[in-house]
Structure 1
Amino acid sequence: MSMLQPNGIHHLAICTSDMRKTLLYFNDVLGFPLAALYWMHGVKNTVHGFLKINDSSCLAFVYSPKIIDEKIVGITHPATISDTSTRGTMHHLAFNVDSQEALTQIRERILAKGIACSEINTQGYPVSFTFPGPEGMLLQIGCQPSAEENVFDEDAAAAIGLDKAAMEALKSHKPYNRPASPVPNALLGADAGYHMNYPDPVYRTLISAPDELVFDFTQDNVPPNEKQPFNVKRRLAKLKLLFRIILSSISRSRGKA
């Protein structure tokens, strides 16, 4: 029996309309050093920047001239802990420290940068405080353990449709046994209902194309800061994928006729 599951967060990628300002903020205010900065692979006019939190996790940002700086509180950004944002968006970003003493010290560092912080909430999970970041981000720093002993509320669980037994079941790891043969992509209509937002023919092509073809299209050994050389195998794979997309579009059009 295998406990296959992610062992942490490698990076959280956030869109920014001002990469320079955002990198400077997190480098100066929280001390995160620059880990990588390059043109994003396969995405035109888009810069990807990474700040190192520790040896296994980063904070990442994506910049493109197409990213607008409009902020609508309650829709695109929560702005405060009591506000909301639309589904699938980040409400707040919380960093961790090892002790309440460290929490107090880093709060002083942030205050010294001229940034106002909330008081430290010692009754929450975790013990934490909040402060504002660039691009309207709501930031938090917390530490474990929490002052609260009982952090599982049956009333809160019932409000989201979980009874006590279901909540107890959620506390356990879910093991996964690998099958003997590779698992294929689930085709549309036979999947779990979660889709990336590509045009339908493109998405159908991506999830149905052989692994070897996708590998040839995406594989390169060139570092992010170097220009891609002309690659015959990669170009042929691109043409094959384009041909599959065209066939998928024709098939869909005939199906609707």
Structure 2
Amino acid sequence: MGTSANQRFELRGVNHIALVCSDMARTVRFYRDVLGMPLVKTIELPNGAGQHFFFDMGNDDCLAFFWFTGAGPTQPGVSNAPGLPDAVDITTAHGSMNHLAFDVPLERFEEYRQRLIDAGVEVSMVLDHDDSEYQVAPEFHPGVFVRSFYFRDPDGILLEFAAWTREMGRPDDVAVLPVDADGNHVDV
């Protein structure tokens, strides 16, 4: 994705991301049967506490799910995004996971979107992300750095298929100062 390298740790990607589902069987049917991710490890948690399953999402990275016997219900807008970003405000609470983006090849992007539609999955419009004021271009152009569309899993977890259109990490790609908790831009 870019030429910058981590000089502190040899991080080789994501080992796994662990999310929580309300129905492990339904989750397996969606991630294995609709998205095609092989189920590679299943664990029954001790003392009847639940289950922990792992799906291969490519590049030796896994997407894992817990099913806890005593977990509370989803809270859209708090624990997860309340809908697709072309339809609603997708703001979520601090410490939540807003969405999970899967890297897909640009040349298969449209095909993959159609496959999900054909499988009955509701998908957002295609969003061509650029550096314009609203960060989405009305049509594809050379300034678009990633093409994406969004969809949700059976528990409402917001997912994205994203395809990079160019290398990232140019000086103009890292030109915004972060804000602190009070909303002030800070040079770090």
1:162 aligns with 2:186: yes
- Of the three residues 75, 85, 91, the one matched with 2:78 is 75
Alignment CA distance shift 1:86-1:123 (3 Å): closer
Equivalent position of 1:7 in the other structure: 12
Name the CA shift for 1:28/1:84 in 2 (closer, same or farther; >3 Å).
same
Residue in structure 1 matched with residue 151 of structure 2 by the alignment: 131
1:110-151 C-alpha deviation (Å, 9 max, x unpaired)? 001111211221234531111121211111010113599843
User: Which position in structure 1 is the counterpart of 2:33?
Assistant: 28
Comparing both chains, which one has the higher relative contact order based on Cα–Cα distances under 8 Å and sequence gaps of 6 or more? 2
Structure 1, 80-89 or 9-18: larger mean CA deviation: 80-89
Alignment equivalent of 2:116, drawn from 75, 97, 110? 110
Change over 3 Å in CA distance of 1:146–1:73 after alignment to 2: farther
> Larger C-alpha radius of gyration, 1 or 2?
1
Q: Specify every segment of 5 or more residues in structure 2 that has no aligned partner in the other structure, as ranges.
A: 1-6, 131-144
TM-score by length of structure 1 reads 0.55
Counterpart among 97, 117, 134 of residue 104 in structure 2 = 97
**Unaligned ranges ≥5, structure 1:** 167-257
Higher strand share: 2
**Length-normalised TM-score, structure 2:** 0.73
Whose helix proportion is higher, 1 or 2?
Answer: 1
Q: Percent identity?
A: 26
State the one-letter code of the partner of 1:73. Answer: P
Amino acid at match of 2:64: A
Residue 163 of structure 2 corresponds to residue 143 of structure 1: yes
Q: Distance in 1 between matches of 2:76 and 2:53?
A: 26
Q: Secondary structure at the match of 2:129?
A: coil
